[in-house]
Amino acid sequence: MKKPLLVIATHNLDKLREIRRLLGRGAYAVRGLDDFPPPYTVRESGKTLEDNALLKARRAVKETGCAALSDDTGLEIAALGGRPGVYSARFAGSGCSYADNTRKVLRLMGGIKRGERRAVFRTVVAFVTPGGDERLFEGRCVGRIAEGPRGSQGFGYDPVFEPRGEGRTFAEMPLARKNKISHRAKAFTRAAAYLRRIRK
Ligand code: IMP
């Protein structure tokens, strides 16, 4: 029997490859949005990661007619009242770079003591079907904000985020290690387990 299609709501091929690996061989044939032209953009106007993940997955279902998975991630820093959170991509303003964002975090965290630099990366994955079924899965990676940037791997806030128990930032570790312990890996692994259950 032909497998049903599952579309990952992204145009980013690196992300698609990584998510395919996390989902493993399942009951779905996994596709990206590039398999369903024309391209479109979704304004991430939600106030929470959950809202944005659902916005993107619902839109992908509407555009493709297939079940869809999407994700949204934010860095929540305790000393900043949970900021940047849902605004992680544009913390330093619209059109800002990753370096602008990390500089802003380090500036706001200036003078904050070692024990008070707790932060958590949180990913929310949304699964939506054409029949209107909606599920959310969460993955967290707890850690702290480093005193300065370290390492050159990864992207985003990786140079300033030290996962608990690692003694190095995400940007200092091989990608394979990050992908084992990351917020995104945990959220997609949960989604994958659910997809395996419902397709049995
Ligand atoms: P997105 O929801 O995956 O697009 O992530 C939103 C923003 O959070 C990105 O633009 C990055 O700045 C940041 N971000 C997401 N995931 C990571 C990560 O694994 N490491 C560092 N920064 C991340």
- Ligand 1 centroid to Cα of residue 86, in Å, is 10
Alpha helices in 24-140 (DSSP H): 49-64, 98-108
The CATH number for 179's domain is 3.90.950.10
- Ligand 1 centroid to Cα of residue 73, in Å, is 6
| 5-8 and 29-32 strand pairing | parallel
Q: Where are the beta strands (DSSP E) in 102-164?
A: 118-128, 134-145, 161-163
Number of domains in the chain: 1
Q: Residue 28 CA to chain centroid, in angstroms?
A: 21
Q: Is the CB of 73 under 6 A from ligand 1?
A: yes
Catalytic residue (choose from 14, 34, 71, 72): 72
- At 13-49, the pLDDT tens digits run 888 998 998 888 878 999 999 999 998 999 999 999 9
- At 160-179, the pLDDT tens digits run 999 999 999 999 999 999 99
Q: Of the residues 97, 124, 157, which should be mutated to test ligand 1's pocket, given the most ligand atoms within 8 Å of the CB? A: 157
- What is the model's pTM? 0.95
100 a catalytic residue: no
Full residue range of the structural domain in which residue 182 is found: 5-199
- Ligand 1 centroid to Cα of residue 150, in Å, is 17
